[in-house]
Structure formats: structure tokens, C-alpha cells
Amino acid sequence: MSSQPPARRGRPGYDRETLLRIAVDVFNERGYDGTSMDDLARRLGITKAAIYYHVAGKEELLRLGVARALDGLDRVAERVAASDAPAVYRLEHLVRGSVEVLVAELPYVTLLLRVRGNTETERSALARRRAADHLAVRLVEQAVSDGDLRPDIHPATTGRLLFGVVNSVVEWYTPGGPIGPQELADAVCTMLFDGLRRPRQSR
């Protein structure tokens, strides 16, 4: 606490992008509800007035942060919805694309996944996430009826477990660490679709 940079006055010392990135890190560490504008100003080493130069307040930073994650995930969902490939392939693309967005936008997706619905911004983010869940469940249902996915797990449960795996990655994945994004997406898809058990033909 003693080594904080002195508060700069006058012209803000950050562009909006950097300000957003640092604010999102603070939200992820302390929780959005537990973070005040004073906390943000202290961490950024600027005055609250300098933050207000860029954004209307704390909730706008939340809105911009979760939008980064949601826009990426929505682009994946749109590509998948527009494809005419069989449902099982589209579901794999949805999973793979979601893992890629998660890795590329890790702090923003982490923020999104911790949103609890206390503000209008949070409720709207949750509604957009639910739309993505519904797409997954529809694809599972179609893939089961195509005979490509096993019929003995309820599609809604499958959808939950599927995104459970994908989302759990934010808890441990380190970008730039030993596992690349591609290897991670492969591991997730292989485990989900083919299982961890060694295929019988290769034993």
C-alpha cells in the first residue's frame, strides 16, 4: 500500500482501453460490488475526475468490460448459427470458438462469468449469456436427433456440463503458459466429444 504511484492531476494518464483493462483486473480481484471509484482511482494512481473524463462511472466500466467478452462470444454464436453443417460440427465449433474467445479475452470473460445480476448491466449480460446457452441446447437436441450424440444424457444437462468445462478454464488457464490456446481447445473438444477413455481400436 505504501508504494502506490502519486495521483496525477490534470490530463488523464491513460487511454480508455488501458483504463478499462486495469479496472477489470480490480473488479476481478475485489469483486465488482466490493470496488469503489476510490479503489479504482487509487490503483490507477489518478484522480476520480480523471476517470470520469473517460467514462460516466463504475457501471459503464462494467458494461464495457462484459461487452468485450459478449461481443466475442456472440460473433462465434453468429458464425455457428449461420452455418449449414450438421449440428454436431456446429456444436464443436461453438465450444472451440468459445474457448478461443475465453483465452483471447480472459480478464473480460472472467468478469462476465462472475456477474450476479445486481444491476441492469449485469441482468442484460446474463440475458445474453442465456441466449448462448439456448443455442447450445438446441444444437445438442438436433445432434441427438441426428444420431450423432448419445441420447442418454438430457440435452439441458449436456449444455450445462459443456459450458461448465469451457467456463472452468478461466479459473486456471495462464495465457503464454505451457498450454497454447489451440492445444487447450483440442483437449476440451476431445474430452467432451470423445471422452478421456482410450479408444478401443487403439489399445
Residues that bind its own copies (CB under 8 A): 30-31, 33-34, 88, 140, 147-154, 157-158, 160-165, 167-169, 171-172, 179, 184, 187-188, 190-199, 203
Task: Kindly state the smallest distance separating residue 189's Cβ from its own copies, in Å.
Answer: 10
How far is 2 from 69, CA to CA, in rounded Å?
34
CB 135 within 8 A of CB 80: yes
Distances (CA, A) of 176 to 28, 100, 110, 181, 188: 20, 13, 17, 9, 18
Task: Kindly state the smallest distance separating residue 116's Cβ from its own copies, in Å.
Answer: 9
How far is 89 from 91, CA to CA, in rounded Å?
5
46 vs 113 by CB, closer to its own copies: 113
44 vs 95 by CB, closer to its own copies: 95
Q: How far is CA 190 from the centre of its chain?
A: 21
Task: Kindly state the smallest distance separating residue 87's Cβ from its own copies, in Å.
Answer: 12
The three cell numbers of residue 188 are 476440451
Task: Kindly state the smallest distance separating residue 158's Cβ from its own copies, in Å.
Answer: 6
8 vs 114 by CB, closer to its own copies: 114
